[in-house]
């Protein structure tokens, strides 16, 4: 297959799995901005088309690393993976000892580093011999990540560490305000000496103030500028953090500025090259790569990052049409695809099913009585419109009458007005009749003279055919009247 046929693709899934199916030596530039081990859970806030935030935050991704049985198994397997990846015995032994020490002293860091090691090992063979890689991280783990990059990409291939300094709100008295990220830059091989096509790069850098005293005034941009050699400290105003008022803001926590990616891609690749971002979030890299006429591949494990945020961005900001100008892979389009996702990743199957019916995933880490999601709609009452919801439960495996009764119990305890059950397989006639009888006992609700069954069920096949739960008007629907949202939250900047 030619490179062309691989590119302009967004994959939904764990980059580890996707990368194992990618062609070795097919990528010119990798930029990765993985979770930072910041022990926070980032939430992207969905907005409806009027720009108002919806009341529930969607888990964008969990940046909290836990040492569970699955991770412990992965750690035990890491020395073997390293040897298979061509890492020397000495370096493998060094990591084995370090991991033993971290297991006792910093298990969370170990969980994070081992997760990263597995993915970096899968990433390396994808790079062309002339390629380069930029790993974006912050000081939380950059010291360990640099040693890991030295191990996997080779210390001889280390090119530089770039400091990206930004100005965002929030300072602490306890330490110097933490306002920089770290970009570790490696070439694919020792001979690929030049990671930049311009060396050194002279660029017009913009500043809000003429702090150097030598800047010139650009009347069109109303900013000071200087034509300077770009150093490895990027703290100019050309690359500004994405703040609440930024026009490029997608409402995706951790979104990076396009200008940052434009500088990296513009200097470390050329037209027609393939740029790859295995943790692509809301597609900042993709936007920059496309603008600069590079082919691109992006992966993200969050379905809404791929299906909602990124595809909206590519359409609105670049006029790209899915299925024509680019392709989304890994999102089930058939019942077989859904079963496959269930087998591979149960949580992501549930997430997919909830989002298919316009629902919002509930945080799996909260005690939520087994609810997988919620779907919001407006109800009318004496005091005017108010927000109500349908609790959603997704069953990927077998389902029995006990599940229906359990969901009915949740509905009675919760302040939701309705409950929806999503099942993988269509039920046989007898089972369906039993389920419907049980669900009918929950009764109806009436809104503006229209009755809606309080409990409803859909199969995956029906969802894929376009059927949805029958509810009063949805909050996210186009042109819907918007209710006042209780306890609306605000987003934090990246």
Ligand X SMILES: C[S@@+](CC[C@H](N)C(=O)[O-])C[C@H]1O[C@@H](n2cnc3c(N)ncnc32)[C@H](O)[C@@H]1O
Residues forming the site for ligand X (CB under 6 A): 14-16, 33-35, 60-61, 252, 254-256, 278-279, 281-282, 284, 299-302, 305
In angstroms, give the least distance from the CB of 481 to ligand X: 32
**Count of CA atoms in the C-beta half-sphere (13 A) of 462:** 16
Cis peptide before 191 (omega within 30 of 0): no
Distances from the Cα of 199 to the Cαs of 182, 193, 387, 477, in angstroms? 21, 11, 57, 51
β partners of residue 43: 59
C-beta nearest to ligand X: residue: 281
Distance CA(454)–CA(436), nearest Å, equals 11
Contact 9, 326 (CB under 8 A): yes
Distance CA(426)–CA(419), nearest Å, equals 18
Q: Among residues 34 and 266, whose Cβ is nearest to ligand X?
A: 34
Contact 131, 30 (CB under 8 A): yes
Query: Which of the 8 DSSP states describes residue 199?
Result: S
In angstroms, give the least distance from the CB of 469 to ligand X: 27
Q: Among residues 225 and 276, whose Cβ is nearest to ligand X?
A: 276
Distance CA(48)–CA(373), nearest Å, equals 17
Contact 471, 358 (CB under 8 A): no
Q: Among residues 28 and 33, whose Cβ is nearest to ligand X?
A: 33
Question: Phi, psi (5° rounding) for residue 431?
Answer: -65, -40
Distance CA(109)–CA(141), nearest Å, equals 8
Query: Which tokens sit at 286?
Result: 């993709």
Q: Among residues 40 and 468, whose Cβ is nearest to ligand X?
A: 40
In angstroms, give the least distance from the CB of 390 to ligand X: 26
Report the 10 Å Cβ neighbour count for 319. Answer: 8
Q: Among residues 299 and 421, whose Cβ is nearest to ligand X?
A: 299
3-class DSSP assignment, residue 305:
helix
In angstroms, give the least distance from the CB of 468 to ligand X: 26
In angstroms, give the least distance from the CB of 330 to ligand X: 10
Query: Which tokens sit at 221?
Result: 């941009």
In angstroms, give the least distance from the CB of 302 to ligand X: 4
Q: Among residues 316 and 444, whose Cβ is nearest to ligand X?
A: 316
Q: Among residues 56 and 393, whose Cβ is nearest to ligand X?
A: 56
In angstroms, give the least distance from the CB of 58 to ligand X: 11
Question: Dihedral sign, CA of 365, 366, 371, 375?
Answer: negative
In angstroms, give the least distance from the CB of 448 to ligand X: 39
Q: Among residues 91 and 250, whose Cβ is nearest to ligand X?
A: 250
Q: Which of 166, 184, 161 is CA-nearest to residue 232? A: 161
Q: Among residues 60 and 421, whose Cβ is nearest to ligand X?
A: 60
In angstroms, give the least distance from the CB of 13 to ligand X: 7
């Amino acid at each position: 297959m030619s490179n062309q046929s691989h590119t302009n693709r967004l994959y939904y899934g764990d980059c580890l799995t996707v990368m194992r199916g990618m062609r070795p030596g097919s990528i010119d530039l990798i930029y990765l901005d993985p979770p930072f081990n910041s022990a926070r859970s980032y939430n992207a806030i969905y907005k409806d088309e009027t720009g108002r935030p919806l009341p529930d935050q969607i888990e964008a991704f969990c940046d909290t690393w836990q040492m569970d049985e699955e991770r412990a198994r992965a750690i035990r397997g890491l020395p073997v993976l390293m040897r298979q990846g061509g890492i020397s015995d000495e370096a493998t032994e060094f990591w084995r000892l370090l991991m033993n020490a971290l297991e006792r002293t910093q298990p969370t860091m170990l969980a994070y580093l081992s997760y990263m090691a597995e993915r970096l090992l899968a990433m390396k063979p994808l790079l062309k011999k002339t390629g380069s890689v930029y790993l974006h991280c912050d000081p939380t783990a950059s010291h360990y990540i640099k040693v890991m990059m030295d191990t996997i990409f080779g210390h001889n291939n280390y090119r530089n560490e770039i400091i990206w300094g930004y100005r965002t709100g929030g300072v602490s008295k306890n330490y110097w305000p933490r306002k920089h990220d770290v970009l570790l830059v490696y070439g694919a091989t020792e001979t690929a000496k030049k990671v930049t096509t311009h060396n050194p790069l002279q660029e017009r850098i913009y500043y809000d103030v003429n702090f150097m005293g030598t800047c010139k005034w650009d009347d069109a941009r109303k900013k000071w500028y200087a034509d300077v050699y770009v150093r490895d400290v990027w703290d100019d105003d050309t690359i500004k953090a994405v703040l609440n008022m930024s026009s490029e803001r997608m409402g995706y926590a951790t979104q990076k500025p396009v200008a940052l990616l434009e500088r990296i891609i513009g200097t470390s690749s050329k037209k027609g090259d393939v740029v790859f971002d295995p943790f692509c979030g809301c597609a900042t890299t993709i936007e920059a790569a496309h603008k600069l006429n590079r082919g691109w591949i992006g992966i993200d494990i969050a379905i809404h990052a791929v299906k909602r945020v990124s595809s909206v961005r590519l359409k609105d900001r670049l006029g790209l049409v899915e299925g024509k100008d680019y392709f989304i892979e890994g999102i089930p389009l058939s019942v077989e695809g859904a079963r496959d996702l269930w087998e591979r990743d149960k949580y992501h199957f549930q997430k997919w099913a909830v989002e298919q019916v316009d629902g919002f995933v509930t945080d799996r880490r909260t005690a939520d009585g087994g609810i997988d999601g919620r779907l919001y709609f407006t109800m009318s009452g004496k005091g005017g419109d108010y927000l109500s919801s349908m609790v959603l439960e997704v069953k990927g495996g077998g389902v029995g009458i006990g599940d229906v009764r359990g969901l009915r119990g949740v509905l009675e305890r919760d302040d939701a007005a309705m409950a929806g059950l999503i099942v993988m397989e269509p039920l046989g006639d007898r089972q369906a009749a039993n389920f419907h009888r049980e669900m009918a006992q929950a009764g109806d609700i009436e809104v503006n003279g229209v009755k809606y069954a309080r409990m409803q069920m859909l199969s995956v096949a029906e969802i894929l055919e376009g059927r949805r739960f029958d509810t009063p008007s949805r909050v996210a629907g186009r042109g819907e009247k918007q209710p006042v949202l209780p306890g609306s939250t605000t987003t934090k900047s990246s």
